[in-house]
Amino acid sequence: MIRLEKRPQPSRVWSLITPVFAVLATMVFGGILFAMLGKNPVEAIQTIFYDPLFGEFAFYYRPQLLVKGAPLVLIAIGLSLGFRAGIWNIGAEGQYIMGAICGAAVGLAFYPLEAAYIFPLMILAGALGGWIWAMIPAFLKVRFGTNEILVSLMLVYVAEQMLASVSLGLLKNPQGFGFPGSRNLQQYDSAHNAELITGTGMHWGVVAAFVAVIFAYVLLNRHMLGFHIRLTGEAPRAAKFAGVHPARLILFCLGISGALAGLAGLFEVSGPSGVVSIDFNVGYGFTAIIVAFLGRLHPVGILLAGGLMALTYIGGEIAQSRLGLPSAAIQVFQGMLLFFLLALDLLTNFRIAIRKRGVA
């Protein structure tokens, strides 16, 4: 008879191995899915995971890895802090949109003035936009005890409507011949988040993502606040005795994740995307949830997970054009990954014991 025995402490070894196993299991089941769609599974998996890195056109795809990975890592780092403490911000998509809107609005307000201070101001506005959007659920949670999951998620839909509204109205390009969408920030030097080194994909958002990883690592390992975050997640009662101030923790965790998501939105709108348009957001805020879990809520893990997830985006696009794999298949693939991750986590927290029945 197979029984589960709770481990006194989560196994460190298993907690490192499970993400790898989850990825492998996803590849196997993803392959089966692709086969069911009538595609060659080996070819599909190779197109997604191998070709962007080492294939014929890898020189073109490798920089994309940074471009797609940066917003994912930036958002996931913020989310992971809250997730660790049991504070669930799942509205990062909305905060990402608001950051983009606020940042782009500041940039466009200065148009066509060229000055060095414009981009820093936009960064500030982007972070502030995301922060304010996340402070709504934070404040409501602290003041009224409202569920932050539902409020932050509802605000995603509100933010999407805001995005539609500004790209058709307030921020619409006056010289855009009536088409929706703002001026292209890529053509406005002072507001353009250009590549720092041409051809590498390295832009300020990537730098910010790396800084965020280091910042989160230091915070969690060397700082009292980080200790409080971990303590609240692992032993809420002990945290209470240790004098952790729950309200302050909620405001901090939601605030920082909102600001980081806002930054991600700003770097995207001023760089790779360029314009505020109705279909600006592509779900980074939700995929970042998977990234955070795949990275085991650990900053370094998130960095790796962000890279892997970016790979599935890029590889997915290649597979879409080359093999005709539907884009939704990649979405399923990413969802599957989270499933296997959560399921295999069992091995981290429990030991599987095989015992004969009746022997006590």
Partner 1 sequence: MDLSAINPVLLIASLMVAATPLLLAALGELVVEKAGVLNLGVEGMMIVGAITGFAITVESGSPFLGFVASAIGGALLSLLFVVLTQFAQANQVASGLALTLFGLGLSALMGQSYVGVKPPSTPKLDIPVLSDLPVVGPILFGHDMVLYFGIALTAAVWALLKYSRVGLILRAVGENHDAAHALGYKVVRIRILAILFGGACAGLGGAYISLVRVPQWTEGMTAGVGWIALALVVFASWKPWRALLGAYLFGGVTVVQLNLQAAGVAIPVEYLAMSPYLITIIVLVILSADKSGAPAALGRNFHASR
Q: Does 135 engage in binding with partner 1 (CB under 8 A)?
A: no
User: Could you tell me which residues come within 8 angstroms of residue 8 by beta carbon, excluding any fewer than 6 positions away?
Assistant: none
Distance (Å, whole) CA 219 – CA 257:
14
Give the residue, chosen from 326, 352, 353, 355, that forms a contact with partner 1 under the rule CB under 8 A. 326
Q: Please give the backbone phi and psi of residue 38, each rounded to the nearest 5 degrees, phi first.
A: 85, 20
Q: Does 336 engage in binding with partner 1 (CB under 8 A)?
A: yes
Of the two residues 64 and 331, which places its CB atom closer to partner 1 in the complex?
331
171: its two tokens:
């921020």
Of the two residues 209 and 289, which places its CB atom closer to partner 1 in the complex?
289
Q: Does 128 engage in binding with partner 1 (CB under 8 A)?
A: no
For the segment 4-33, give every residue that binds partner 1 (CB under 8 A).
4, 6
Distance (Å, whole) CA 107 – CA 178:
21
Give the residue, chosen from 17, 121, 140, 304, that forms a contact with partner 1 under the rule CB under 8 A. 140
For the segment 157-196, give every residue that binds partner 1 (CB under 8 A).
157-158, 161-162, 164-165, 168-169
Q: Does 328 engage in binding with partner 1 (CB under 8 A)?
A: yes
DSSP string for residues in 194-255: --SSTTS---HHHHHHHHHHHHHHHHHHH-HHHHHHHHHHH-HHHHHHTT--HHHHHHHHHH
Q: What are the CA-CA distances from residue 263 to residues 30, 130, 299 (Å)?
A: 33, 7, 17
Q: Does 346 engage in binding with partner 1 (CB under 8 A)?
A: yes
In angstroms, what is the minimal distance from the CB of 207 to partner 1? 29
Give the residue, chosen from 25, 44, 151, 275, that forms a contact with partner 1 under the rule CB under 8 A. 151
In angstroms, what is the minimal distance from the CB of 266 to partner 1? 21
Binding pattern for the stretch 47-86 against partner 1, x by CB under 8 A and - elsewhere: ----------------------------------------
Per-state percent for the chain, helix, strand, coil, to nearest 5: 70, 5, 25
Distance (Å, whole) CA 120 – CA 262:
14
For the segment 254-293, give every residue that binds partner 1 (CB under 8 A).
286, 289-290, 293
* Contact criterion met (CB below 8 Å) for 175 and 100: no
- Where on the chain is the footprint of partner 1 (CB under 8 A)? 4, 6, 88, 90, 140, 144-147, 149-151, 153-158, 161-162, 164-165, 168-169, 286, 289-290, 293, 326-336, 338-339, 342-346, 349-350
